[in-house]
Amino acid sequence: MPTSTFNPVRRLTALLSSKCQSAMPSSSSRTSSHAYRITSFSIPRRIAGYNGHAFSPKQFSTTASQQTKTIKPHRLPSDLIPPYPYGERRIYKQSNRGLYGSARIRFGNNVAEKHNNKSRRFWRPNVHVKTFFSPSLGARVKTRLTLRVLKTIRREGGVENYLLKSKPARIRELGPGGWNLRWILMQTQAVQQRFNEQRIELGLEPKEIENRDDVIHFALDYATPGPLSMRSRATLNEMQATIADTFVLGDDSLANFEGAEELSDEEERKLLSELENFDGASTPTRRQTAGA
């Protein structure tokens, strides 16, 4: 004989029909009133599924959830941020894209106990991926970091305290990725107010707080996957127009400016000879110095 399969739809239909029949009035009352009304009944809030697990009805809400960006420090625009004072790391270049501290890849030997044979090997740092929330930026920061740096962040009280420390040893540990994130943090009004409070405690005059929300929004939008928003495009166009109006020292397109002509070879030799004659006349020779 074929085995009967469990059908939850049939079970639900039978349950509803039994509820309706129990709620219906008797035949005598129906004939007297010529109508009947089905009383309200409650459907169980938990209904068994195929696998026997229970599920509850989904909660719906009309309130839009607050969107929070998740950025990566190495994706921040390098043209907008000042260069890292210590330069990029030549050894273990992966550390330029995270918070590795002073950890680098190390090389050594495996030594056999019996014959003392040596074979080359290397050790990589203990690197993990961690996401931090930055209250000043209002965004999450996802980066690679070592466990030693994570321990330091916990001791400092947060990733912002770790990045904003101004000791030379800390700045050297940040690397290019941490330096970019530190510069973006310093543009926020919350961090500017924090620095002003420190200046007042030291007896210095506070600086004026500048509104740089457009630059911060552009940097965060640039570091987030996807196309730029309309606000970020407008900020980018303004920055490009400002750069186009300024004169950059050492630009190869100097001949395109009005009133500037390219120096020919003859004029170059003539100017160099005049410079040599001028230098020779101004500096006395050894004989002149000895006779004096």
| Helix, strand, coil share of the chain (percent; to 5) | 45, 10, 40
Phi then psi dihedrals of residue 22, to 5 deg: -70, -25
Residue 30 neighbours by CB under 8 Å, 6+ apart? 36
pLDDT score recorded for residue 117: 92
| pLDDT score at 49 | 43
Tell me how far apart the alpha carbons of residues 121 and 242 are, in angstroms, rounded to a whole number. Answer: 52
Q: How confident is the model at residue 93 (pLDDT cuts 50, 70, 90)?
A: confident
Query: What is the spatial distance between Cα 172 and Cα 280, in angstroms, rounded to a whole number?
Result: 48
Q: Is the pLDDT of residue 290 over 60?
A: no
Average pLDDT score over the chain = 75
Separation CA 182–CA 94 (nearest Å): 19
pTM above 0.75, yes or no: no
Contact 115, 101 (CB under 8 A): no
Of 14-23, 65-74, 200-209, 271-280, where does mean pLDDT reach its minimum?
14-23
Amino acid in position 274 = E
Per-residue pLDDT tens digits for 34-92? 444 444 444 444 444 444 444 445 555 565 555 567 877 778 887 788 899 998 888 88
Q: Count CB neighbours of 112 within 10 A.
A: 10
The pLDDT of residue 46 is 42
* Domain range annotation of the chain: 70-99+116-243
Distance CA 260, CA 253 (A): 10
